[in-house]
Amino acid sequence: MKVFYRDLATKKIDKLVINSLDQALYQAIVIINGEEHIVWQNEKTTLLTRNLTEMREYFEQFDIHEIALRHESAYDEMIGSEPKKNSNRLEVPLGKSPYALPKHLH
């Protein structure tokens, strides 16, 4: 099931996961009722940004209790090593505000 950004206001988001795909490419994943869903901008495009703060700003308006930045490295496979049997997923919890300082102080 595709979850569109425009429809998120009507859903209870348990967790927002910002998936770091590349050096500066971020994809939004929401967890709703225990299921992960990639967030879609439209029928053909997922919600992607090149800036972590910009991605967090997209979700600033929603009441989300947990936000995390996720990264999974494909480095081993890229250099010809055997894929690892265990996940190398790293998830770092993020605060609710996308800014280090309150917005009015920027």
Give the confidence band of 7 by pLDDT, cuts at 50, 70, 90. very high
Is the per-residue pLDDT at 85 higher than 80?
Answer: no
Contact criterion met (CB below 8 Å) for 71 and 20: yes
Provide DSSP, 54-77. Answer: HHHHHTTTS--S-EEEEE---HHH
pLDDT at 73: 73
Domain ranges of the chain: 3-81+89-94
Is the per-residue pLDDT at 98 higher than 60?
Answer: yes
pTM, to two decimals:
0.81
Contact criterion met (CB below 8 Å) for 72 and 83: no
